[in-house]
Amino acid sequence: MLAVGLAGCGKQSILTTRSKPAHDIALLWWWMLAAAVVVFFGALALLIVAWVKRDTPGLPFVGEREDLTQGMVLLFGIAVPLVALVALFGVSDVYLVGQTAPPNPRTTSMTVDVIGHQWWWEVRYDGGRAVTANEIHIPVNTRVNLVATSADVIHSFWVPALNRKIDMIPGLRNRILLDATSTGEYRGQCSQFCGFQHAHMGLEVFVQTPAAFRAWLANQSRPAPPPPSAQAQAGERVFMNSQCASCHTIAGTPARGDVGPNLTHLATRTTLAAAEIPNRPAWLAAWIRNPQKIKPGDRMPDLGMNATQVSELVAYLDELK
Amino acid sequence: MATVVSPRGQRYVDELDQIWIERRGLWGWLTTTNHKRIGIMYFFTALAFFGAGGVEALLIRTQLIGPNGTVLSPQAYDEVFTMHGITMIFLFVIPMTTGAFGNYLIPLMIGARDMAFPRLNALSYWIFLGSGLFMYASLVQGHAPNAGWFDYVPLASKQFDPGNNIDYYGYGLIFNGISSTIASINFIVTIFKLRAPGMSINRMPLFCFAFLAVAFALLFALPSLSVAALFLELDRQLGFHFYDAAFGGAPLLWQNLFWIFGHPEVYIIILPAFGIATAIIPTFVHRKMVLFPLVALAEILVAFLGFGVWVHHMFTVGFSTLTTVYFAAASMIITIPSAIQLFAWIATILTGTPQFKTPLLFIVGFIVYFIMGGLSGITVAAIPFDQQVHDSYYVVAHFHMVIFGAAVYPILGGMYFWFPKLTGRMYNERVGKISFWLTFVGTFVTFFPMHIVGILGMPRRNYTYSPGLGWTFLNFVESIGAYILAVGLVLIVANLFFSYFRGADAGNDPFGGDTLEWSTSSPPPAYNFAVIPTVTSPYPMWDRADRERDSGRLDAGEGLLNRGHLTPATTVQDADADEILSMPPHSGWPPLTAFMLTGVFVMLVLHHYWIALGFAAAAGLTLIGWHQRETSP
């Protein structure tokens, strides 16, 4: 029952696996759980026997043979754990650890750089030809070399369905393998405490067919499309003349800020605010109007815009496809 | 010892009472150097901090009872969970075990009249009190530490945490470390030199072995923490770059230094619990510990091996596989001495005739949760699995099973066990059992679901979570468990509180204990033992002839040491009589020194460096006063 419950639910469960390393770790967990259940209930049984025979000294059916009592301690305290630990060590720390080790870059077909920020993820392809945020796209059945680092404090990259986690540490370039076995959308979250909005630092990985991925990447590599409507053009002016442009980049425009996420193709993303709210005009407007309400303590300030400016901005951003 | 004292013996007892007379009232407590009074002060101070840490825990669980909780702001949540960790580890468990239990019981168990350095002992208490109040003053200022109890940089650097929140942490831990260092030295010397004649190392109670191991571990682990905290403050106050990657520093240096302290610390927390378990079990199962020497060795080994495993807190930082594999192997090896002790306790209970009274129930609860926490501990020594669940609620579940379920249960059981010794009265057994079951069920309901929530991907230290991730129901259950647990803990305190006034008369030895503290009156006199006992086995109270001989010596006026504040010292290994030590009487210097040191740290955190220097000079002056020869009382 527990097993079904664990495997069935949870968008971020380590037991809903879509890659070989994650699958192997989950399998290791089930074996460890089975062994732990045996040990736990075995020891509990000894305590229950002690309670049942509480008025007679010595081992049940054996009596007060001190050598047998001592033998029991040596057996369960040294011999059994030694065998079990050697087995576990061999499986997990000799064999499996190699599966989850950073991949040799020569065995991977592409590299994605992910940079942690308070409190969002910068995602760079081809050394910065395409830059996006909080949503990583990768092709299915492809070995991807993910390079993780940080622009400020320590974060940790963790998408349980695809692999174990790796810390993102300023000054270090840690690596991990992403090699998804089926297309789909997988949730992850920062798992190293990184400040006020640590709880709202989610990300999504989109595993696509190679063709769909190539099309997506080609689009992401282009500069932003020009605003199509008058309202969107007004929105662009608001953006360039306010604080927005000093923190965000939109390729093909003067906006070159590097504090917040790159917005060049914002409208192609499904979520906002590090995978916390859906990317729909109403949510986008709410976020621009009062980001501190949605993520208190976030770096995005309250910009004090009026309703017209907000709707113009939303019209502009919603066309960044 | 003999409850009936002959008139001749009584005269010697009256004489000792006069020699060891203690000042009364508040002044008496302020200037005391008596290990029992200091232990009691430690007890109540640590208990108060336990209450504060408990309230913080309840705030956390109330915030997380449902998704998108709004009881605490993210800022407040970060301060609350950080203070919860700091409080429980530095201001509750360590002072409660070494400070309260160790201080009160070790001289009694080894047949000494006090700790080796009574004034130093007082100093360690007053510094602990000062450092605790110092860290809690941050809450009053509204700037409590907020980067977690392991305080990773760069989050804790000036750049990302510009207030003085982190300075309360950095200075507070350096300050607190002085207290623990002093206490460790005192324990080591006391246990090595003040054991009763005949109590050779192999006849020392297992409780003392555990505390000896803890004292050594603290002594070697704390410098790493103090250095780490000093570097942190140099970075923050004077612009050094120990941890700053942009200037050639290394954020991982902090993690290494912290965990070089932090992992031995885990065993420092749990070893006293092992010691208390080995004191309670033989008494209630009416037999000696199975494999005494192996258990003693295992206690020492756990403390020693604990120094070689710190990287298992850092399996996800990107170290090479070879490095992590070594530390995984070392972590797995610790299972062996732990399992030896575990099965020695189980075998002792199984082959004895156990009476499941409240203290033993808490030890059984401890064993159950220690197995649970130990097993989950082995799973995170499997590196790939650890790399999945690291910093998730699975780890939170693991260390609360170990630290609360395993380390705190013996403290609770020990409170019941030694209550009659401290007060001369019995606790209420029925209420005691109810309090155990509430605590036991509350612990399970609070912490067990955390394993599952962690497996479902919930990271720790989230001030809230969204619905739809499968975490909502389990978090609700955990919070309900926390309330049950709180009721159980309050019931324990209430039981002891009312028993203090209404409990039945306990006598010297209500449980048939095996160690020397049960031979003296309840509560013990200031000098502990009228006659210095002579010991011939690790279970001196079960050697009736020895204890009767002691009574005889009282009548004969032998072994009294009644020419002043005296206690015998013996040789380190064999405990042969060595010399007679003259113990200092009460002294006002230790609290004064601690007060000046508190001033130093308060002024540092407020950036009044010249005043801080003044307090430091004043602290130096108090040491001069301290070392003036004091007149006898």
A88 shares contact with chain B (CB less than 8 Å): yes
As a whole number, mean pLDDT of residues A220-239 equals 95
Please, is B24 exposed, middle or buried when counting C-beta atoms within 10 Å of its C-beta (0-12, 13-18, 19+)? Answer: exposed
Q: Report the gap between the CA of A25 and the closest CA in chain B (Å).
A: 6
Residue A145 banded pLDDT, cuts 50, 70, 90: very high
Evaluate whether B362 touches B410 at the Cβ level (below 8 Å).
Answer: yes
- Give A39's contacts in chain B (Cβ within 8 Å): 371, 375
B1 pLDDT more than 60: no
Evaluate whether B550 touches B557 at the Cβ level (below 8 Å).
Answer: no
Please, is B103 exposed, middle or buried when counting C-beta atoms within 10 Å of its C-beta (0-12, 13-18, 19+)? Answer: buried
Predicted local distance difference test score (pLDDT) of residue B4: 62
- Which stretch of DSSP H or E encloses residue B398? helix B393-400
B2 pLDDT more than 90: no
How many Cβ atoms are within 10 Å of B92's Cβ, its own excluded? 25
Evaluate whether B334 touches B307 at the Cβ level (below 8 Å).
Answer: no
- DSSP bridge partners of A218: none
Could you identify the residue written with the tokens 């499309």? A225
Please, is A98 exposed, middle or buried when counting C-beta atoms within 10 Å of its C-beta (0-12, 13-18, 19+)? Answer: exposed
A64 pLDDT more than 90: no
* Cα–Cα distance for residue pair B121/B38, rounded to 1 Å: 8
Interface test with A, best of B157, B346, B475 (most A CBs within 10 A): B346
Task: Compare CB distances from A36 to B375, B456, B470 and report the shortest one's residue.
Answer: B375
A7 pLDDT more than 60: no
A-facing residues of B in 372-411 (CB < 8 A) are: 372, 375-376, 378-379, 381-385, 387-392
- Give A160's contacts in chain B (Cβ within 8 Å): 388, 457
Contact yes or no for B294 and A73 at CB 8 A: yes
Interface test with B, best of A20, A177, A192, A294 (most B CBs within 10 A): A192
A135-139 sheet: strands from edge to edge: A135-139, A202-208, A184-189
Evaluate whether B19 touches B114 at the Cβ level (below 8 Å).
Answer: no
How many Cβ atoms are within 10 Å of B441's Cβ, its own excluded? 14
* Cα–Cα distance for residue pair A186/A16, rounded to 1 Å: 10
DSSP alpha helix (H) spans, chain A: 2-8, 20-52, 66-74, 80-88, 97-99, 210-221, 230-241, 244-247, 281-289, 291-294, 307-317
Evaluate whether A234 touches A242 at the Cβ level (below 8 Å).
Answer: no
- DSSP bridge partners of B569: B579
- For A298, the token pair is 């976030």
Quick one: which of B13, B152, B101, B148 has its CA closest to B277? B101
Cis peptide before A119 (omega within 30 of 0): yes
Contact yes or no for A93 and B462 at CB 8 A: no
Contact yes or no for A170 and B246 at CB 8 A: yes
Predicted local distance difference test score (pLDDT) of residue A1: 41
Contact yes or no for B316 and A156 at CB 8 A: yes
Residue B559 banded pLDDT, cuts 50, 70, 90: confident
Predicted local distance difference test score (pLDDT) of residue B5: 76
Predicted local distance difference test score (pLDDT) of residue B8: 85
B631 pLDDT more than 70: no
ipTM of the complex: 0.95
Evaluate whether B272 touches B102 at the Cβ level (below 8 Å).
Answer: yes
A-facing residues of B in 495-534 (CB < 8 A) are: none
* Cα–Cα distance for residue pair B98/B92, rounded to 1 Å: 10
B73 shares contact with chain A (CB less than 8 Å): yes
* Cα–Cα distance for residue pair B418/A246, rounded to 1 Å: 66
Q: To the nearest whole percent, how much of chain B has pLDDT over 70?
A: 99
Residue B633 banded pLDDT, cuts 50, 70, 90: very low
CA atoms within 13 A on the CB side of B495: 25
- Give A187's contacts in chain B (Cβ within 8 Å): 457, 469
Predicted local distance difference test score (pLDDT) of residue B479: 98
Contact yes or no for B469 and A166 at CB 8 A: no
* Cα–Cα distance for residue pair A169/A163, rounded to 1 Å: 18
Could you identify the residue written with the tokens 């682990």? B221
Quick one: how far is CA B217 from the chain centroid? Answer: 13
Residue B629 banded pLDDT, cuts 50, 70, 90: low
Digit-coded pLDDT (tens) for B187-204: 999 999 999 999 999 999
Quick one: how far is CA B424 from the chain centroid? Answer: 24
As a whole number, mean pLDDT of residues B289-298 equals 96
